[in-house]
Amino acid sequence: MQGLEIRVRGQVQGVGFRPFVWQLAQAHGVRGAVCNDAHGVLIHATGADLGAFQTALSDRAPALARVDAVEARPYTFDTAPEGFTITPSRGQGAETRVTPDAATCPACLAEIRAPGRRQGYAFTNCTHCGPRFTILQRLPYDRGQTTMAPFTMCPACRAEYENPADRRFHAQPIACPACGPRLWVEVDAAEQPGDPIAGAAQVLASGGIVAIKGLGGFHLACDATNEAAVQTLRTRKRRPAKPFALMAREGDLTDFCAPTPADLALMRDAAAPIVLVRGTGALPDAVAPGMNRLGVMLPYTPLHHLLLDAVERPLVMTSGNLSGEPQVIGNAEAREKLSAFADAFVMHDRAIARRLDDSVERAEPPMVLRRARGRVPGTLPLPPGFEDAPQIVAYGGQMKAAICLIKNGQALLGHHLGELDEALTWEAFVQADRDYAALFDHRPEIAACDLHPDFRATQHAQTTGLSVARVQHHHAHLAACLGENGWPLDGGPVAGIILDGSGLGPDGTVWGGEVLLGDYRDFTRCASLTPAPLIGGDRAQADPWRNALVRLDAAGLGDAAERLFPDAPLALARQAAAAGLNAPSSSSAGRLFDAVAACLGLCPMGQSFEGEAAMRLEALAEQALGETGYGFAVTQRELDPAPVFRAILADLDDGTAPARIAARFHAGLAQTFADAARKLVERREARAVALSGGCFQNALLLEQVTAALGDIPVLTHRLTPANDGGLALGQALVAAARHIAPPESG
């Protein structure tokens, strides 16, 4: 009998795709079979309505599916099929995509709140929701290849699992209280009697700190409305000012924040990221000191829903880790490392295959600040022209480390790992490299990395035995932005406004405020901030006064530095700068933000976390929108901020409100860089403008640069981080472009 062999490629395993195909077959009178294999979903089908059946595979796919392609070719059945069946998975390997973890669906949420065998069960899930990547050990995605393997299904779960008409058909994490993972509360390493949800809620309501095991690791939680509890958590964790993330029920959001429709839509996404939302001031300032936005997520597991129903208030929900270390994922590790922080533990016995922090995103303008749980291991299609790209691994930078793989026309940008100078984060990085290679059957020909020889990721690339492609830091930022936007390999050059903290330039200096003209293969530096010394090297990132000092001195305002920073060792710092002693020259835009913030009294003597001064400066500027920007001194290749500091000091002397000064700085910086990029487009040297680098996490700056560019095409980050978390994607694309022969001219 004649029919079709239909191959469905993409994110089609672990999303209920086979029962969806089975239901389509019933509706269209199609006979045959469907299975999972290493390439995705394979269908053998025959029937009179095959055309409509094939179209529906992509048009009506399950919510969590991402169909890349539906391919069909003739197929001859040995014997005529009598019906349509779902057959066991075939083969080993990993040529398909893996589904990220997904927030609890409405059906499962209703189930845990209604009478029935899963009422109050913290591990309820189905093919439309629940853990995926955090439990997966190998592909294909079958229960025996996940951390659910030790839990033998009870007859009731087995019946659901084997029924193609049930929403739990082949839901690999399927469980119930009779056969699945269990939950308990511990105090002083002793399991407590009674309902664990009620027990944890009681500790939280009394002002205690609770360590909670989630999907990708432990959180530390406390009552966000209790100032003493929040401050206790800060004291115990030695985290004086970095904003805490919050978790709250949707109905409670307006009690403390003002989410827009776009904010709510992003919160409700299956990825359930932390979303930056404007606060109303109702919560203690200790939750996010000096910030006008709060990082808020909705509950995304049944455990979280049940706990929030019990406490009926927002909770601080911050990563459970020692300062600088990766998030804790194991029960024994949690007892060892988090006992000094937590008064109680909410534990369970389902193992976490890999740690994943919560993703952090902004809805307006759309941007990803941290790509992790719910987004990884989602992939991006390679832009046109990269069809012949070999398999490549890229290792990113030293900070906000993430790994990127290129394979089969897709780029997989891995999860946020952290700062590689921390020993345990480095161990996690090396483990992730092995894990991704094994899980996705990745066999790269090229290892891409940063130019900086002292970056641990760069040194790691050189130990792989692969051909190494070293990519300049800001070129990688540019390429990452181009790649996310699908800019063709031979789409022509663009002007890249690249603003960040620092990156080694090919001239040996530290770059960070550049206008580049380039594409995937190459670039030219067309303009940059006038450089200034980074006194103390890395200390300049920690102490904003150092950056203010060098900018004030360069503007002829040394006396102002004495007045603004009387407690700083200015004389010694000036000596170091003059001698070039641990004071490399830098065009860093990030340090320029720090300098302005310090002049306005925003944590001048030290930042308690990376980006604190700039974040406070942005929050301040948003109080005085509409200001005319300060002017820079612009030459052919340099953008000098000296006039900006003269104007800032004059405004301070005149008693101008700091918010207005902050707004004028933002507006002036945006206009200056936009003007420099615009010239390249107007001269037809560039076809568009790309905005990348960590400074573009600043939504105000992003909006103002975009507005200043007017009708010029602008490429921005939406799905990948503008910060160093996106570097590996750019490195991989640059390495691929170098490997692919350019088109012959003429």
Which pair of tokens denotes residue 134? 């955090």
Place of tokens 């310090």: 598
Does the pLDDT at position 568 exceed 70? yes
- pLDDT at residue 40 above 90? no
Q: What is the pLDDT of residues 321-357, one digit of tens each?
A: 987 788 999 999 999 999 999 999 999 999 999 999 9
Q: Residue 183 and residue 195: Cα distance in Å, rounded?
A: 9
Q: Is residue 92 predicted with pLDDT exceeding 80?
A: no
Domains and CATH numbers, the chain: 2-86 (3.30.70.100), 183-361 (3.90.870.40), 377-484+721-739 (3.30.420.360), 527-715 (3.30.420.40)
pLDDT, position 164: 83
- The whole-angstrom separation of Cα 702 and Cα 697 is 8
- Give 633's strand partners: 640
Question: Residue type at 156?
Answer: A
Q: Which of 215, 237, 238, 235 is nearest to 227 (CA)?
A: 235
582 tagged catalytic: no
Interhelix angle for 699-709 vs 612-621, to 10°?
60
Q: For residue 70, what are the β-bridge partners?
A: 8
CB contact set of 587 (below 8 Å; sequence gap of 6+): 509, 510, 511, 512, 513, 514, 528, 529, 530, 531
3-state secondary structure of 443: coil
Phi/psi at 233 (5° precision):
-65, -40
Average pLDDT over residues 714-723: 97
pLDDT, tens only, 303-319: 999 999 999 999 999 99
Per-residue confidence band for 170, with pLDDT thresholds at 50, 70 and 90:
confident
| Whether the predicted pLDDT of 554 surpasses 80 | yes
Confidence of residue 94 (pLDDT cuts 50, 70, 90): low
Tokens of 370: 């941290």
- Reported confidence tier of residue 61, pLDDT bands at 50, 70, 90: very high
Four-residue CA torsion sign, 247, 250, 251, 257 = positive
Question: Is-contact 717 496, C-beta < 8 A?
Answer: no
Maximum alpha-carbon separation in the chain: 92
CA–CA distance, 86 with 299 (Å, rounded to integer): 34
DSSP 328: P
pLDDT of residue 438 exceeding 80, the answer is yes
Categorise residue 120: left if φ over 0, alpha if ψ from -120 to 50, beta otherwise: left
Spatial neighbors of 42 by CB under 8 A, at least 6 apart, are 5, 6, 7, 8, 34, 35, 36, 90
CA-atom Rg of the chain in angstroms: 27
Angle between helices 642-653 and 589-599 (to 10 degrees): 20
What CA dihedral angle connects 573, 505, 432 and 372, to 10 degrees?
80
pLDDT band at 581 (very low <50, low <70, confident <90, very high): very high
Q: Which two tokens stand for residue 39?
A: 């390439």
pLDDT tens track for 473-528: 999 999 999 999 999 999 999 999 999 999 999 999 999 999 999 999 999 999 99
Mean pLDDT of 236-250: 96
In this model, does residue 96 exceed pLDDT 70? no
- Which element (helix H / strand E) includes 295? strand 293-297
The chain-wide mean pLDDT, for the chain, equals 95
Q: Give the tokens for residue 460.
A: 């790691």
Q: In 3-state terms, what secondary structure has residue 226?
A: coil
Are 315 and 246 in contact, with CB atoms under 8 Å apart?
Answer: yes
CB-count burial class (<10 Å; 0-12, 13-18, 19+) for 189: exposed
Using an 8 Å Cβ cutoff, are 247 and 258 in contact? no
Tens of pLDDT along 67-83? Answer: 989 999 999 999 999 99
Mind giving me the DSSP string for 337-397?
Answer: HHTTT-SEEEEESSPPSS--PBPEEETTTTEEEE--BTTTT-EEEPPTT-TT---EEE---
Tell me how far apart the alpha carbons of residues 484 and 601 are, in angstroms, rounded to a whole number. Answer: 38
Answer whether 350's CB lies under 8 Å from 147's CB: yes
- Say what the alpha-carbon torsion angle 58, 63, 68, 71 is, to the nearest 10 degrees: -30
Cα angle 278, 284, 287 (rounded to 5 degrees) comes to 65
Q: Render pLDDT for 183-234 as a digit per residue (tens, 0 to 9).
A: 999 999 999 999 999 999 999 999 999 999 999 999 999 999 999 999 999 9
- Which of the following is catalytic: 9, 18, 132, 371? 18
Give yes or no for residue 606 having a pLDDT over 60.
yes
Mean pLDDT for 462-476 is 97
Average pLDDT over residues 271-285: 97
Active-site entry in 7, 9, 31, 36: 36
State the pTM of this model: 0.93
For residue 664, indicate whether it is catalytic. Answer: no
CB 357 within 8 A of CB 370: yes
Q: Do residues 549 and 574 touch, judged by C-beta distance below 8 A?
A: yes
CA distance 209 to 233: 7
Assign 69 to helix, strand or coil.
strand
From CA 191, how far away is CA 204, in angstroms rounded?
17
Residue 38 to residue 93: CA distance in whole angstroms? 5
What integer pLDDT is reported at residue 510 of this predicted model?
Answer: 96
In percent, the amount of the chain with pLDDT more than 70 equals: 99
Q: Which residues of 556-576 are buried (b: 16+ CB within 10 A; e: fewer)?
A: ebeebbeebbeebebeebbeb
Alpha helices in 393-443 (DSSP H): 423-439
Exposed, middle or buried by CB within 10 Å (0-12, 13-18, 19+), for 638?
A: middle
**In the prediction, which pLDDT does 746 show?**
47
Structure tokens at 568: 């700083």
C-alpha dihedral sign at 369, 372, 374, 377: positive
Residue showing tokens 């207005």: 660
What pLDDT is stored for residue 742 in this prediction? Answer: 80
Tell me the three state secondary structure of residue 26. helix
Residue with tokens 């002829």: 556
